[in-house]
Structure 1
Amino acid sequence: MDYSIFAMQVTRRMQSPRDPLHERLHRLISGEPERVTAGQRYRFYRKLSTELLPAVGEFEKGVWDYWDVPSRAPGDFQDWVDGLQGREARSSPAPDDGEPRYMVFTMSLLLQHGSTSDVRMTSHCNIPELQLWRWSTFEHLLKGITLLNFLNVQSDVVYLLPGDDAGYGLTAENLGSQDYHYLRNLHR
C-alpha cells in the first residue's frame, strides 16, 4: 500500500510556574489508550485541535509538511517518530535562570495514499507560499484534522515536550540549536 504524510510541529512559550495548556495537552495525550478504534482516534485528534486552536496566536515557531509522494512518506513519517526517541528532548531540567521555557507539540499522520482523507488533505494543504508560516495557516491546518476519516490513517504519532516535568521545558537556546534548525518563525 502507498502512503502520504501530514505532520505539524509548533512551539509556544509556557506560562510559569504551571502552564494550563501544557497540562491539558499532557493529560489528554497520556490518558489515551494505546489501542483505539478509528472513531476514538478521531475524537482524540478533535480534542487536540480544540485545545490548540485558541492558542494559535501564541505559537512562536512551527513547521508543517504534507507529502503525497508514496516513496517519501514512510521515511518522513519515521523521522517524526524518531522525535519520540528523545533526539529533541532535554536530558536534564533546564537551569532555573528565569528565562522563558517552551513547549513543543508534534503530530504526524501516515495516510493511505489516494483515500478520501488523503484527497481532502491534498486540497486542504494547498496553501500559497506567502501564507505558509502564518498563524492563520496553522489554524486552518488544525481544523483540517477534523476532515479525516481515521479508517484511512495507517499510523499516527503525537508527542509533547516537556512531558511529565515542566522543568524540562526547552529554552530559546535549545530551539535555536541544530536539533530545531527546520522551525520557522510564525507571524500574523
Structure 2
Amino acid sequence: MNYSVFSMQLVMELQGENDPTYRELHKIIRSSPERTNYAQMHDFYGRICSVLRRQVNRFEMGVWDYWDDPSRAPRDFQDWVDGLQGKEARSQPAPEDGTPRYLACTLALLLQNGSTSDQRLGQHCDIPEAKLWTRGTFQHLLKGPALLNFLHVKSDVVYLLPGDDPACGLTKEDLSGKNFHYLRQLTA
C-alpha cells in the first residue's frame, strides 16, 4: 500500500510553568488510551487542534508538510516519529536566567494514498506559496484532521515538548540549534 503524510510542528512561548495551553495539551495527550477506535482518534485530534487553533496569536515558529509522494511519505513520517526518541527534548531544566521558554507541539499522520481522506486533506493543504508561513495558514491547517476518516490513517504521532516537566521548556538557543534547523518564523 502507498501512503501520504501530513505533519506539523508549532512553537509558542510558555506562559510560565502553569501555562494553561501546555497543561491542556499535556492532559489530552496523557489521557489518550493506547488503543482507540476511529471515532476516538477523530475526537482526540479534534481536541488537540482546537486547543492549538485558539492560540493562533501565540504561534511564533512552525513547519508543516503534506506529501502525497509514496516514495517520500514513509521516510518523512519516520523522521517525525524519531522525534519521540528525545533528540529534540531537554533532559533537564535550563538555568533560570529570566529568558523565555517555549513549547513545541508536533503531529504527524500517515494516510492511505489516494483515499478520500487523503484527497480532502491534499485539497485543504493547497496553500499559495506567499502564505505558507503565516499564523493564519497554520490555523487553517489545524482544521485538516477534522476532514479525515481515521480508517484511512495507517499511523500517527503526537508529542509535546516539554514532556512532563514544564521547567524543561525549550530555550531560544535550543530552537536555533541543529535539532530545530527546519523551523520557520511565522508572520501575521
Q: Deviations over 1:129-175 (max 9, x none)?
A: 00000011001100121111100000000000001111110001100
* Number of aligned positions between the proteins: 188
C-alpha distance in 1, partners of 2:169/2:77?
24
C-alpha distance in 2, partners of 1:59/1:10?
7
Counterpart of 2:82, as a letter, is D
**RMSD of equivalent CA atoms:** 0.6
Q: Deviations over 1:78-98 (max 9, x none)?
A: 000000000100121111111
Aligned to 2:174: 174
Counterpart of 1:33, as a letter, is P
C-alpha distance in 1, partners of 2:144/2:78?
22
Aligned to 2:81: 81
C-alpha distance in 2, partners of 1:61/1:127?
18
SS in 2 for 1:5: strand
Aligned to 1:66: 66
Counterpart of 1:80, as a letter, is W
CA contact (8 A) 2:17 2:167 kept: no
Aligned to 2:44: 44
**Runs of at least 4 residues of structure 1 off by over 4 A?**
none
Query: How do 1:1-188 and structure 2 match up within 5 A?
Result: 1-188=1-188
The TM-score with structure 1 as length reference comes to 0.99
Counterpart of 2:110, as a letter, is L
SS in 2 for 1:95: coil
